[in-house]
Copies of this chain bind each other. A is one copy, B any other.
Amino acid sequence: MSSIIQRLMKFGVDVNRILTPRTRGPKATKVHQGHLLDAALAVFAREGLRGASIRAIAREAGCDPSMLYYHFQGKEGMFEALLERSIGPVVTELLALKDPKDPRSVAERLWGVICIYHRHLGESEGLRGLLRGEIIRGAEGIRESITKRVFPALGAISDLIRFGIERGDIRPDTAPLFATFFLARMELEILDLIPVLGPRVAGIPADQALPMAERAWFRLFWRGIATRPEEPLPFLNES
């Protein structure tokens, strides 16, 4: 059976090399940056932030860990790029809520904060972790990079709340920064936990629990800051 191989080896032939040929060099489907970022998100979704090692991402992408260093400058640079792609749109949409030409009420626009978070961050626990400033081993500098992006967006929401105070929709003793913090931060917690806790603790199916909790949260929040808390919030009953 293996006598042929043994004879070949005797003549100095690198048998290993023939049986498992090396595969270096460009593939038919080149590994581009977006593919690696997709892989990172997939690892996030499957193994959480703690699973976000370079090796795990490369495994997911079906390539060698070195590819990460070819396309980005290290792990840090890769997450920087991931942020640009993932959190960039969130920040843009949040900033747009401040637009004075927006015809919607302040309440509905604040509800928009929750909708935007839900839409962009509902799927990836890892992305929420990043946004929340959690730390990834080997990419500790990411934290500051995120706050630099997110703070202006939160500032826009604060401005929106100030606008609501001026218009008389929101109680004047509301602290805009705190209220912004409460609104946005709680939505992150809801997205993280309610899909797990809802079925387990309250027996609500996961897909129903999330919207229920979000609506419950916004009703509580708005009632907590509104000048006229009894006014109905019709936009909550849509979709």
Contact = CB atoms under 8 A, between A and B. Distances in A.
A55 interface: no
Contact of A224 (B151, B201, B219): B219
Interface in A208-224: 212-213, 216-217, 219-224
A35 interface: no
A186 interface: yes
Contacts of A59: none
Interface in A169-183: 174-175, 177-179, 181-182
Main secondary structure, interface of A, reads helix
Interface residues of A, number: 32
A26 B70 CA distance: 53
Contacts of A194: 181
A84 interface: no
A229 interface: yes
B220 A182 contact: yes
A175 B137 contact: no
Of the listed residues A135, A178, A217, A229, the one surrounded by the most CB atoms of chain B closer than 10 A to its CB is A178
Contacts of A225: 220, 223
A216 B186 contact: no
Interface of A: 48, 50, 135, 137, 151, 174-175, 177-179, 181-182, 185-186, 189, 193-194, 197, 201-202, 212-213, 216-217, 219-225, 229
